Structure 1
Amino acid sequence: MTNAHTPPGDAHPYLRAATAGVRHHARQAARTSTPADRAHLDVLHSHLTGLHLLMDRLADTTRPRHPAAGRHLAAAHLRLWQAATSVHDAFHTLPAAESTGLDSDCRPDRLPEGPQVLTICQRQLASGHAIRRKTTPADHGPRPARTA
């Protein structure tokens, strides 16, 4: 039998663990003066796109019952995508750690066959597609025919 009244501290253990991990990493980064590298930005981008997906789902489920809160969550959803875009751009600005002989530019036409490093580009394209579906009316499919 499960308890219907789970204490708030136990309701989201994985999210709390992820938050603790980010806080720990931020403390560690503050102690050293090592600049970010591509591997670091790839993991950070993965975290941001995961939050982007979570915020999208929360906004969709909250909006019908609480429109004002849903609008705030939708705004956070958009800002997470903007943050992920900036991290993606920074990733491509940094030099590669080792020369693999492969071009690491973001080339959507080559993503499935491209080097492993382009998984950040795949995540970025997927999150960009999701945000455009939410914000661009033309992407919502054919409009119903008008009846006279």
Structure 2
Amino acid sequence: MTTALSPADAHPYLRAATAGIRHHARSLSASAPGPTDRVQLDVLHGHLTALHRLLDQLAETTRPPHPAAGRHLATAHARLWQATAAVHDAFHLLPPAPNSSAETECRPERLPEGPPVLTVCQRHLAAGHAIRRKTTPSDLNTPLHRPTSAS
């Protein structure tokens, strides 16, 4: 016997992840910590790439029965990639931990045997490969809302 899930129970893992991010954002604003560090950006990048995969799957399954909604989800997928790329770039602009002697330059040719700090780069390259299979460079550089001319 199966029972219908209520909308609140339909996606428990996604709701839990969202609650975790909200909690982290509230704790950051309440405690007024120092500047963001690489560890925070690495974790945030992990969340963004997971959300990127989820949005890609939603766009693919929504597009056939609802093309317009699928196109909007595909656009959101591309914009999320832009945010993910910006977080990756910010990660590399932050200084490494004081006791870290690891190389921090993003060098894809050395990633399989590279230092563990570069897992953010491995994740980013995998997500980049996925977005480039479905999106053109011009789509990635297009603003979300194009200005319309007033007639």
Structure 2 partner of 1:72: 72
Task: Kindly report structure 1 stretches of 4+ aligned residues shifted beyond 2 Å.
Answer: 98-102
Structure 2 partner of 1:141: none
Structure 1 partner of 2:55: 55
Distance 1:36 1:9 in 2: 33
Measured after TM superposition, the shift of residue 104 of structure 1 is 1.1
- What is the TM-score with the length of structure 1 in the denominator? 0.88
Question: Does the CA contact (< 8 Å) of 2:102 and 2:117 recur in 1?
Answer: no
Question: Does the CA contact (< 8 Å) of 2:37 and 2:94 recur in 1?
Answer: yes
Distance 2:11 2:21 in 1: 16
Which amino acid is the alignment partner of residue 15 of structure 1?
L
Structure 2 partner of 1:104: 104
Identical aligned residues as a percent: 68
Distance 1:49 1:33 in 2: 25
Structure 1 stretch displaced more, 55-64 or 90-99: 90-99
Measured after TM superposition, the shift of residue 84 of structure 1 is 0.7
Matched, 1:37 2:22: no
Structure 1 stretch displaced more, 99-108 or 47-56: 99-108
Q: RMSD between aligned alpha carbons?
A: 1.3
SS across alignment from 1:72: helix
Which amino acid is the alignment partner of residue 113 of structure 2?
E
Matched, 1:123 2:116: no
Measured after TM superposition, the shift of residue 113 of structure 1 is 0.3
Structure 2 partner of 1:140: none
Distance 2:97 2:33 in 1: 18
Aligned length: 136
SS across alignment from 2:112: coil
Structure 1 gaps of 5+ residues are 138-148
Structure 2 gaps of 5+ residues are 138-151
Measured after TM superposition, the shift of residue 35 of structure 1 is 1.1
Structure 2 partner of 1:16: 15
Question: Does the CA contact (< 8 Å) of 2:102 and 2:115 recur in 1?
Answer: yes
